[in-house]
């Protein structure tokens, strides 16, 4: 048998292709590198113009409350109400621009104060008519907006305390629903403390848990936490029911915590 792997003869045409390929491939590579470099340069130029036009936009809208106070590169430090007012709110409220109630103008604020703290805070956070949400500065925290709102309203005669929305009070029906979900789906572990589940009368554990806030507890109960199964192990449970069960647990734990406090106070 003759050799199967016999090398086929190179035709003159193939020879030319190979030659051209050998000559041009490095050339092509060089051209591409140059194009890449130019491309990078161009993009930098683009960036510069983009930030320039950004600056133009910022300048254009500056009188309407875009502040330089919030630099995203600087770690966030909570500002006082006065600071927020001076950085953000004063651009309108200092002069009464856009018919905003002017700082210290108790006549302009008078009727508005009557709406009450919660409504005023809601409007400061969400905006109302020409009043932009958070005064147009989305990076302000709820508390900073609340402090600035209180700083302004108190200067116009109110006597508010900056607090965030109070926790919703549960109806008796909601608590009852929470209790029945708890009894059916959660008590097996949380009554006994099985596998490390926090018992409702474990005041130390619940004092810590309550500090995490309801939202964190809801999330832990719905998605599961270390050792705590998602939805108590019953994924058919509605989120709303799991939340009510958590509400019930927190209410029970708070009762236990209060009872422990009065007990130590009596001693």
Instruction: Please state, in angstroms and rounded to a whole number, the distance separating the CA atoms of residues 106 and 157.
Output: 6
Q: Which is nearer to ligand HEC, 41 or 192 (CB)?
A: 192
Residue 114's nearest CA partner among 167, 165, 163, 157 is 157
Cβ distance to ligand HEC smaller for residue 39 or 96: 96
Closer residue to ligand HEC (CB): 41 or 95: 95
Least CB distance to ligand HEC at residue 201 (A): 15
Of 184, 177, 149, the closest CA to residue 163 belongs to 149
Q: How far is the CB of 223 from ligand HEC (least distance, A)?
A: 10
**Cβ atoms of residues 83 and 70 within 8 Å:** no
Closest approach of Cβ 46 to ligand HEC, in Å? 31
CB of 49 to ligand HEC, least distance (A): 28
| Residue number with CB closer to ligand HEC (142 or 260) | 142
- Taking the complex as a whole, the smallest distance from the CB of residue 226 to ligand HEC amounts, in Å, to 4
Of 92 and 177, nearer to ligand HEC (C-beta) is 92
A 10 A CB-CB count for 237 gives 19
Tally helices (H) and strands (E) across the chain: 11, 0
Neighbouring-strand partners of residue 228 = 225
Binding site residues, ligand HEC, CB under 6 A? 64-65, 84, 88-89, 91-93, 97-101, 112, 115, 119-120, 123-124, 128-132, 134-136, 145, 148-149, 185-186, 188-190, 194-198, 209, 217, 220-221, 225-229, 231-233, 242, 245-246
How many whole angstroms separate alpha carbon 51 and alpha carbon 84? 26
CB 231 within 8 A of CB 221: yes
């Amino acid at each position: 048998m003759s050799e199967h792997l016999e090398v086929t003869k190179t035709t003159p045409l193939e020879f030319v292709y190979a030659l051209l390929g050998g000559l041009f491939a490095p050339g092509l590579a060089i051209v591409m590198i140059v194009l890449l470099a130019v491309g990078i340069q161009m993009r930098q130029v683009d960036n510069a113009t983009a930030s320039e036009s950004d600056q133009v936009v910022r300048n254009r809208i500056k009188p309407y409350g875009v502040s330089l106070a919030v630099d995203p590169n600087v770690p966030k430090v909570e500002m006082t109400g006065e600071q927020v007012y001076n950085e953000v709110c004063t651009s309108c409220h200092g002069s009464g621009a856009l018919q905003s109630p002017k700082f210290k103008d108790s006549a302009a604020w008078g009727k508005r104060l009557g709406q009450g703290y919660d409504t005023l805070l809601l409007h400061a956070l969400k905006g109302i008519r020409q009043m932009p949400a958070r005064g147009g500065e989305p990076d302000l925290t709820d508390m900073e907006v609340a402090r600035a709102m209180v700083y302004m309203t108190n200067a116009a005669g109110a006597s508010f305390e900056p607090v965030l929305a109070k926790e919703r009070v549960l109806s008796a029906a909601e608590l009852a629903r929470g209790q029945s979900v708890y009894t059916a789906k959660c008590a097996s572990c949380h009554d006994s403390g099985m596998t490390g589940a926090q018992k409702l009368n474990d005041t130390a554990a619940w004092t810590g848990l309550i500090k995490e806030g309801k939202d964190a507890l809801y999330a832990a109960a719905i998605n599961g936490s270390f050792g705590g199964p998602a939805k108590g192990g019953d994924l058919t449970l509605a989120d709303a029911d799991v939340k009510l069960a958590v509400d019930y647990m927190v209410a029970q734990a708070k009762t236990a915590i209060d009872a422990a406090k009065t007990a130590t106070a009596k001693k």
